[in-house]
Structure 1
Amino acid sequence: MTGRTPFSELRARMSPASQARATAKSGLLEQEMALAELRRAMKLSQEEIAAALNINQASVARMEKRTDMYIGTLRRFVQAMGGELDIIARFPDRQIRIDQFRDLAAPEG
């Protein structure tokens, strides 16, 4: 015996309440990721992102470590992964999409 238990078996042993908490926590983790985690989840390499952005791999590595960047830079990074960036302001009673940055997505020309 290897001493390993399949996750499906471990999950089946959990109480329904524990399973619900684990599912909720998993959902939150999927909603919150750093750029590097998101890129890896999308199964993309830094080299692939660099090629899409026409920059070098070291620049992608630096971007992934930044805690502050221009919205246009973040938008291009997300687009290079095949995504779309939305800016949402959350208030206790509603959510508002900020649209003043939509022109940043338009191609230059």
Structure 2
Amino acid sequence: MARKYSELRAKMSPTARAQAEEQTRQLLKEMPLQELRQARKMSQQQMAKSLHTNQSNVSRIEKRTDMYISTLRNVIKAMGGDLEVVARFPDGSVRINQFEDIDEAIKT
């Protein structure tokens, strides 16, 4: 018989609940585009409308492992976000801003 999550959660120890919450936070920090779109409660159809394309193109974009920065930026903007490219080094992080010029060049 299926049990409600709330019942199972109520039986968990406070330590186990805290560990589960931390694990959830970590999982939400990184995810594939498809899962990000779903977490933002958007359908491929809604995304396609925002990107001025069709649903099958959105599906193809979500399956790509390699794409242009401009394509990724457009997808993120369609979800209501902004894309930042950050290089991480042992002695610190650097935000790469040269890709911001792409939008300006396209507009002019």
| TM-score relative to the length of structure 2 | 0.86
| Counterpart in the other structure of 1:11 | 9
Runs of 4+ in 1 over 4 A off after TM superposition: none
Gaps of 5+ in 2: none
For 2:71, what is the secondary structure of its paired residue? Answer: helix
Indicate the percent of aligned positions where both proteins have the same amino acid. 50
Question: 1:27 Cα deviation (Å)?
Answer: 0.5
Gaps of 5+ in 1: none
Which deviates more, 96-105 or 18-27?
96-105
Task: Assess, with a 3 A threshold, how the Cα gap between structure 1 residues 7 and 51 changes in structure 2: closer, same or farther.
Answer: same
Q: Which structure has the highest helix share of the two?
A: 2
For 1:17, what is the secondary structure of its paired residue? Answer: helix
For 2:74 and 2:103, how far apart are their aligned partners in 1? 8
Question: 1:35 Cα deviation (Å)?
Answer: 0.8
Instruction: Assess if the C-alpha contact under 8 Å between 1:46 and 1:60 holds in 2.
Output: yes
| TM-score relative to the length of structure 1 | 0.85
Task: Let me know the Cα RMSD of the aligned residues.
Answer: 1.7
Task: Give the letter for the 2:14 counterpart.
Answer: P
1:108 aligns with 2:99: no
Task: Assess, with a 3 A threshold, how the Cα gap between structure 1 residues 54 and 4 changes in structure 2: closer, same or farther.
Answer: same
| Counterpart in the other structure of 1:43 | 41
- The count of residues paired between Structure 1 and Structure 2 equals 107
